[in-house]
Amino acid sequence: MTSKKMYSQAARVQGLLRTLGTRQGITLAELAEEFRVTKRTIYRDIKAIEDSGYPIFSDVIEGTTYWRLEPSFKNIPPITFTQNELMALYFSRKLLRSTQGSPFHTDLESAFKKIESALPAKHIAKLERIEQMFSSLVKMPGKVDIDKQIFETIQMALINQNILKLKYMPKRSNQAFPFEAHPYSLLLYKEELYLLCFIPEKKALRYFALSGIKKAERLKERFEIPESFSLSDFINLPFGIYQEKPIKVEVIFDKELSDYIQERTWHPSQKIKVMKDGKILLSMIASGKDEIKAWILSFGPKAEVLSPEFLRKEIKADILKTVDRYRHP
């Protein structure tokens, strides 16, 4: 007697969907027998499928509950992927899982459950191995303090271009201030989600950390994003996310950093020149002075600011303060 095939969770979910879609109704006991798991496991799988957006119904006939998939979902054609597409998809999943502490996490997992439920059976066995082939060192903080209802309000305002009434509390304050905003985009920067908005009262674009937004109300009034506005142009200007007056920066790097500096794009405006002694001269026009300073200081004595003079003096002062601090035990 041959033993029945054991199913992985992804294969079982796919099999459940196909079974529920081809039967007029089936009991938990019958499903448990078919997939060689407990009725409790089948019930959890069905609830997970429902949570992913699939309409599953139950009918009680003579005291027995029968489960079925809503008829309009029965004839949905399967999604097919090439092996390379699966590899790319699951590598992306690993990257996106870095948002585990964010409001995106639940929706992300729900989306992948739908994908897995529609994949051809021949691909299911490869999924776990493909996912184990990649890893991401990018991490979100352990806890992201973003209210789910506030997040969903902002999402809907972004999609429908509705004006938002916000209450925002800066990190170094204990008082929230109200204002109206035209939401343009969400950005993930240094383990924090930010909302880019136009503030009519200030007639300027501003960033706000979502963790600092304490209240959000979506108004019926809509706004239009100016045709002249380009998000890519806007975010390419600063060295971080903070908009300031652009400055021309020239930094010289030691020879040993030659390959490292040349192989990376530090800013869209950068120009790189190899000096006769092998050192690298990098110049760029960017805003975000504090971000630029932190970047230069991260290279220690292997980087030197040539210009602008005020930035050179500020970095020198920071280094002297650091040296002074280490003079004392």
- 173: three-class secondary structure by DSSP: coil
pLDDT given for residue 271 in this prediction: 93
Q: What is the pLDDT of residues 209-261, one digit of tens each?
A: 888 899 999 999 998 888 888 777 666 655 666 666 788 999 999 999 999 99
Q: What is the mean pLDDT of residues 63-68?
A: 87
SS3 117: helix
What pLDDT sits at residue 112?
75
CA proximity to 213, closest of 148, 142, 160, 158? 148
Which carries the bigger pLDDT value, residue 108 or residue 156?
A: 156
What single DSSP character describes residue 191?
T
- Is the predicted pLDDT of residue 68 greater than 70, yes or no? yes
Task: Beginning with the edge strand found earlier in the chain, give each strand of the sheet holding 271-274 in spatial order.
Answer: 271-274, 280-286, 247-253, 303-307
- The encoded tokens of residue 274 equal 């190899």
Range 144-161 average pLDDT: 83
**Lowest-pLDDT range of 8-17, 94-103, 155-164:** 94-103
Asked if 287 and 245 count as a contact pair (C-beta separation under 8 A), the reply is yes
pLDDT in tens, 250-309: 999 999 999 999 988 888 788 999 998 999 999 998 887 888 888 899 999 999 999 999
Give tens-digit pLDDT for 168-192.
988 777 888 899 999 998 887 766 7
Domains and CATH numbers, the chain: 9-73 (1.10.10.10), 83-132 (no CATH), 148-236 (2.30.30.520), 247-327 (3.30.70)
Q: With beta carbons less than 8 A apart as the criterion, state whether 248 and 285 touch.
A: yes
Q: CA-to-CA distance for 128 and 138, rounded, in angstroms?
A: 20
Distances (CA, A) of 298 to 169, 191, 228, 281: 30, 19, 36, 17
Global pTM value: 0.55
Confidence of residue 123 (pLDDT cuts 50, 70, 90): low
More confident residue, 194 or 78: 194
pLDDT for 72 equals 60
Predicted local confidence at residue 170, as pLDDT: 83
- Across the chain, what does the average pLDDT equal? 80
Average pLDDT over residues 314-324: 91
**Confidence check: pLDDT of 1 > 50:** no
Mean pLDDT of 157-166: 90
State the first-to-last Cα distance of the chain, in angstroms, to the nearest integer. Answer: 77
Which of 184, 207, 177, 169 shows the shortest CA–CA distance to 291? 207
Positive or negative torsion for Cα 238, 198, 166, 139: negative
Cα–Cα dist 154/15, whole Å: 37
What tokens appear for 193 in the block? 């989600």
